[in-house]
Amino acid sequence: MTNALDQVRAHVRDHFAGLEPDSASVTFLGTEPIEVLRFRETDGVVHYVSLGCSRHPMTDPTQILSDPQLGPRAEVVLSLRDPGPATGIARTLAVLAASPAVDGLVLTVDALVDLGSPLWASPSRVPFTGVLLGHSDIPDLALQAPRDPVQFLSATPVTATEAAWVRLKGAGAMRQAWQNDGVDVLNPNRPAAQPS
């Protein structure tokens, strides 16, 4: 499976025009390491990409038998504009990426994952405690059959208020509210949206 992770790494590097990422490795008790790649673009946007979530297919933990080859595979992408002195982002992304192995979550587009605590530490208050998953700009990576392709899911930080709105109205309504209000979801210092 290391070969597949090498393919994922090369695929992501190609997407970012061969930029060489910084990386950090995070290990949780009883799980294989999750690496977090950090790509810093010239426009100030920093992309954090997990590497290791796709090592195994995501399966429903209630299934009695699961196929070690078949099932959806994903990596998580968190993008922020000028995150500044924020710390702990790599660990948060690793927690998200490890959640299929640790908690049996199946990460999919429009899924809301509430971590219950600030996503990173910063000198100013961080209101974001969860993420809304969606399509990222990184195209899927086909793996050798019969394995499913690796999907790259964007993780948009959300506040508790926004998470409640997603639960009530749905992911599409939240994205529409952001668009209507001109919210820059890449801004780590943005105020919470106040959808009506």
pLDDT at 1: 45
Reported pTM: 0.92
Specify the pairing of strand 73-81 against strand 150-159: parallel
Around Cβ 56, how many Cβ atoms within 10 Å? 17
pLDDT per residue over 135-176, tens digit each? 999 999 999 888 899 999 999 999 999 999 999 999 999 999
Q: What is the mean pLDDT for each group of 10 consecutive residues in the chain (196 residues)?
A: 83 91 89 94 94 89 65 95 92 95 92 95 91 97 92 97 94 94 92 71
Domain extents in the chain: 2-60+67-180
pLDDT at 104: 87
Burial 93-110 (b: 16+ CB within 10 A, else e): bbbbbbbbbeeebebeee
pLDDT per residue over 124-133, tens digit each? 889 999 999 9
As a whole number of angstroms, the distance between CA 107 and CA 99 comes to 8
Specify the pairing of strand 150-159 against strand 128-135: antiparallel
Q: Are 37 and 48 in contact (CB under 8 A)?
A: yes
As a whole number of angstroms, the distance between CA 30 and CA 41 comes to 34
